Amino acid sequence: MKKNESRHSRRDFIAAAGGAGAAIGLSQLLSNDFELAFAQNVIKGKERLIVRSMRPEDLETPVRLLNTWITPNDLFYVRHHSYAATPDEKAAKEWSVKIDGEVERQLMISLDELKRMERATVTVTLECAGNGRAFYDPPVAGIQWEKGAVGTARWTGARLAEVLKKAGLKSTGKYVALDGADKPVGKMPDFVRNVPIEKALHADTILAYEMNGEPLPTLHGFPLRAIVPGWEGAYAVKWLNHIQVIESEYDGFFVKTAYRYPNKRVAPGAAVDPKDMVPLTGLIVKSFINSPLEGAVLKTGKFRLAGFAWAGEATIAKVDVSIDNGSTWAPARLGKERERYAWQSFEHELNITAPGSYLIMSRATDDKGNMQPVAPQWNPSGYLWNVIDKVRINVEGA
Ligand SMILES: Nc1nc2c(c(=O)[nH]1)N[C@H]1C(S)=C(S)[C@@H](COP(=O)(O)O)O[C@H]1N2
Ligand SMILES: [Mo]
């Protein structure tokens, strides 16, 4: 948030609170301003993001800033469960990744060695599985992400398959467990994720040391992280320093309990038997509108509706938009920038002639025929929110 915006909202709030409520309102605002100042001091370079948690750092990108095909590093959302590792340049020079388990040779590969291997760049939309959790009803515990725990970057690194080849993958290796140098909070288990061997060996799965042409920023996993294109964000393990090839699914909280989803529809709020929960993998079809913004006041006439749509490993086939509560839909034009795992921009020229309040919607469909649903599929951890996006605007007479 910019300074003047915070002052603005404070003034508005005091005006709105008025009378007896003002004292309480003011003290709440002072504490917000304090938090804002704190955030601006501590989370360097990320001042424009919404702080969902200060420590660990969980930062969301406001939708109004998600308006470029490539998300700049300082606007990219941040999510981790643990205390970020903060290796300096010297530590990065000495950084190495241990590769063990179901391999012929246990290896320590240095960052320099990884950089000497063939460079691979993939443009990938990374999205936290919990993006949109705030919209589930009944509410679900966890970080209350709204729309902005998502972003797109060009990631450059070495192919995981090539690294595994150096170590000599055994036929018994079925999963690749990824662990980073971050430290668990209190009694929380270590953050370890595992990638099934087929995906691990895919030429687009990389160990990235660059993000948008720069060394990975600290909060994004400096000096090394995994990128597992098209899969939910938790596979992209940051501060990576240990790769273990294993015979069966990793036995740890972040594989066996977290990041699981019911394999059938469940009633909102219902408990789900753990045996009916399966690991999340690919992201599912989704879109959001970044222009106009929620609450915008516009004049009758023509204006541009725009946004982004993505579908994990699948491709966006079309995006439709509606201004009449979904009664009729018009196809939006898809942008020219297309990369297999990256979101796709869309735009449409609207012409609203009658003043009033409008709910404008976007609905993406992927190349497998999956379409964003009208109603959410509630699940116990609030993952994979992908309901048709809606933005309320007011159109005034010219
Ligand atoms: N080491 C480590 N890597 C991690 C996490 C973590 O807690 N520890 N969080 C994951 C989750 S849940 C997400 S959504 C992505 C977020 O990546 P970003 O912070 O670069 O946006 O990182 C993943 N990598
Ligand atoms: Mo995540």
Q: Do the beta carbons of residue 209 and residue 110 sit within 8 Å? A: no
Sign of CA dihedral 334, 211, 228, 135: negative
Cα angle 16-19-22, degrees, rounded to a multiple of 5:
65
For residue 94, the SS3 value is: coil
pTM of the entire predicted model? 0.90
From the CB of 239, is ligand 1 less than 6 Å away?
yes
Tell me, in angstroms, the distance from the centre of ligand 2 to residue 233's CA: 5
For residue 40, the SS3 value is: helix
Tens-digit pLDDT profile for the chain (398 aa)? 333 334 333 333 333 333 333 444 444 554 555 555 554 455 778 989 999 998 899 999 999 999 999 999 999 999 999 999 999 999 999 999 999 999 999 999 999 999 999 999 999 999 999 999 999 999 999 999 999 999 999 999 999 999 999 999 999 999 999 999 999 999 999 999 999 999 999 999 999 999 999 999 999 999 999 999 999 999 999 999 999 999 999 999 999 999 999 999 999 999 999 999 999 999 999 999 999 999 999 999 999 999 999 999 999 999 999 999 999 999 999 999 999 999 999 999 999 999 999 999 999 999 999 999 999 999 999 999 999 999 999 999 98
Q: Do the beta carbons of residue 268 and residue 378 sit within 8 Å? A: yes
From the CB of 78, is ligand 1 less than 6 Å away?
yes
Q: Residues near 299 by Cβ (< 8 Å), separated by ≥ 6?
A: 395, 396, 397, 398
DSSP string, 127-195: E-TTTTGGG-SS--SS----S-SEEEEEEEEEEHHHHHHHH-B-TT--EEEEEES-B--TTPPP-EEEE
Residue nearest to atom 12 of ligand 1 (CA): 234
For residue 90, the SS3 value is: helix
Q: Which pLDDT score is estimated for 5?
A: 37
Containing H/E element for 297?
strand 297-299
Tell me, in angstroms, the distance from the centre of ligand 2 to residue 118's CA: 29
Atom of ligand 1 nearest to the CA of 81: 7
Q: What is the CATH number of domain 89-126+147-279?
A: 3.90.420.10
Q: What is the pLDDT of residues 119-132, one digit of tens each?
A: 999 999 999 999 99
Q: Do the beta carbons of residue 172 and residue 247 sit within 8 Å? A: yes
Tell me, in angstroms, the distance from the centre of ligand 1 to residue 211's CA: 14
Token pair 């309320």: residue: 392
CA distances for 391 relative to 273, 291, 292, 362, 388, angstroms: 36, 9, 8, 9, 10
Q: Which pLDDT score is estimated for 45?
A: 86
According to DSSP, the residues that pair with 13 across neighbouring strands are none
**What's the CA gap between 332 and 236, in Å, rounded?**
31
Atom of ligand 1 nearest to the CA of 128: 14
**What's the CA gap between 229 and 342, in Å, rounded?**
9
From the CB of 148, is ligand 1 less than 6 Å away?
no
For residue 219, the SS3 value is: helix
What topology is assigned to 286-396 in CATH?
Immunoglobulin-like (2.60.40)
DSSP tag of 78: B
From the CB of 49, is ligand 1 less than 6 Å away?
no
Q: Which pLDDT score is estimated for 21?
A: 36
Residue nearest to atom 18 of ligand 1 (CA): 78
Tell me the residue type at 296: A
From the CB of 76, is ligand 1 less than 6 Å away?
yes
Question: Could you tell me the end-to-end alpha-carbon distance of the chain, in angstroms, rounded to an integer?
Answer: 31
Tell me, in angstroms, the distance from the centre of ligand 1 to residue 57's CA: 10
Q: What is the pLDDT of residues 304-336, one digit of tens each?
A: 999 999 999 999 999 999 999 999 999 999 999
Cα angle 346-124-233, degrees, rounded to a multiple of 5:
110
Atom of ligand 1 nearest to the CA of 233: 14
Query: Domain spans of the chain?
Result: 3-75, 89-126+147-279, 286-396
**What's the CA gap between 64 and 85, in Å, rounded?**
30
Say which ligand is closest to the CA of 237: 1
CA distances for 93 relative to 111, 155, 222, 392, angstroms: 7, 20, 11, 50
From the CB of 82, is ligand 1 less than 6 Å away?
yes
Q: Which pLDDT score is estimated for 44?
A: 79
Q: Which pLDDT score is estimated for 12?
A: 35
**What's the CA gap between 226 and 319, in Å, rounded?**
30
Atom of ligand 1 nearest to the CA of 82: 7
Containing H/E element for 31?
helix 22-42
Tell me, in angstroms, the distance from the centre of ligand 1 to residue 202's CA: 21
Residue nearest to atom 23 of ligand 1 (CA): 234
Tell which one of 131, 238, 255, 257 to mutate to probe ligand 1, the residue whose CB is within 8 A of the most ligand atoms. 238
Cα angle 384-219-54, degrees, rounded to a multiple of 5:
75
**What's the CA gap between 173 and 197, in Å, rounded?**
7
Containing H/E element for 261?
strand 260-262
Distance of CA 305 to the CA centre of its chain: 23
DSSP tag of 328: S
Sign of CA dihedral 259, 263, 268, 272: negative
